[in-house]
């Protein structure tokens, strides 16, 4: 994987199966257009935040669940070609007319991975994150994230990906920048941790929180942790 298209959406809880079916149908076309992997994850442990959170990011209403999803592409060029096909293919227009959620509140963007560490194994649960990082701190953030990824894998994670905002558009209703209250000199980072199961995630985080290597130093943190968005999600499609 060398490029990621990240998404966050709000879906009515009652439409979960309709959304899953919609995603399965869409995945066939996206794979045809060049997507190598498409993952859709249903909100399971998505807390309210004091400054930012996933629900606020997509203006989720009562009865709606946050969905965290991504496409993996072999390159940015393949992603750009795929998006042209998506915009012009009549099959996609037909599917777009029958979406089981409010597409106007979906946030999306293109991201270039700066950390991609794999330990192997299957994915049964995902932690998703959104972070605003000053552009000048990119390398400092990458170094910190790489060290953290090694600890996550040691404590049970099967994969850790950190992807730097590369093509993150402004939206009319919602967008990634607004989600993390990014300032003009900050980039959005879209990241996730894959776990074999929810149980592995719970046990893993207990060990991570107790690990002295993971104790944050507020004086050297390369981003504002108060604006970091996070939550736990159950995969409903991994194609």
Residue 1 has pLDDT above 70, yes or no: no
DSSP state of 114: E
- Taking the CA atoms of the chain, what radius of gyration do you get in angstroms? 17
Alpha-helix runs per DSSP H in the chain = 16-33, 54-57, 76-88, 90-96, 138-154, 176-179, 198-210
Write out the H or E segment, with its range, that includes residue 75. none
Q: What percent of the chain has pLDDT over 70?
A: 100
What average pLDDT does range 132-153 have in this prediction?
A: 97
Residues 51, 55, 58, CA angle at the centre, nearest 5°?
105
Section 66-76 average pLDDT: 98
Residue 227, beta-bridge partner list = none
pLDDT greater than 90 at residue 86: no
- How would residue 122 be classed by pLDDT, with cut points 50, 70 and 90? confident
**Residue 219 — pLDDT band, cuts 50, 70, 90?**
confident
pLDDT tens digits along 169-181: 999 999 999 999 9
- Residue 104, pLDDT score: 95
Q: Which fold has domain 3-238?
A: Alpha-Beta Plaits (3.30.70)
Residue with tokens 């309210």: 48
Write down the domain spans for the chain: 3-238
Please give the pLDDT value at position 69. 98
Q: Is the pLDDT of residue 96 over 80?
A: no
Percent of all residues in the chain with a pLDDT value above 90, rounded to a whole number: 89
The owner of tokens 């990082």 is 133
Q: What is the pTM of this model?
A: 0.96
Residue 220, pLDDT score: 86
Residues 6 or more apart whose Cβ sits within 8 Å of residue 210: none
pLDDT at 239 over 90: yes
Q: Quote the mean pLDDT of the chain.
A: 96
Q: Give the pLDDT band of residue 129 (cuts 50, 70, 90).
A: very high
- CA 173 – CA 166 distance, rounded (Å): 20
- The arithmetic mean of pLDDT across residues 2-28, rounded, is 97
Mean pLDDT of 134-143: 98
Distance CA 42, CA 33 (A): 24
């Amino acid at each position: 994987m060398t490029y990621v298209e990240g998404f966050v959406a709000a879906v009515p809880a009652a439409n979960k199966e309709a959304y899953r079916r919609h995603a399965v149908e869409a995945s066939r076309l996206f794979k045809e257009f060049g997507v190598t992997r498409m993952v859709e994850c249903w909100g399971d442990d998505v807390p309210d935040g004091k400054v930012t959170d996933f629900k606020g990011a997509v203006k989720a209403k009562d009865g709606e669940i946050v969905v965290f999803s991504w496409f993996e592409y072999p390159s940015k060029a393949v992603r750009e070609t795929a998006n042209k096909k998506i915009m012009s293919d009549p099959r996609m227009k037909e599917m777009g007319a029958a979406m089981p959620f409010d597409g106007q509140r979906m946030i999306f963007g293109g991201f270039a991975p700066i950390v991609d560490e794999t330990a192997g194994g299957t994915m049964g649960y995902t932690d998703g994150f959104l972070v605003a990082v000053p552009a000048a701190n990119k390398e400092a953030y990458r170094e910190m994230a790489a060290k953290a990824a090694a600890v996550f894998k040691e404590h049970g994670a099967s994969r850790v990906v950190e992807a730097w905002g590369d093509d993150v558009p402004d939206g009319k209703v919602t967008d990634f920048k607004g989600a993390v209250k990014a300032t003009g000199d900050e980039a959005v980072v879209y990241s996730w941790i894959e776990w074999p199961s929810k149980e592995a995630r719970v046990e893993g985080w207990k060990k991570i929180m107790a690990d002295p290597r993971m104790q944050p130093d507020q004086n050297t943190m390369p981003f504002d942790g108060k604006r970091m968005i996070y939550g736990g999600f159950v995969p409903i499609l991994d194609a």
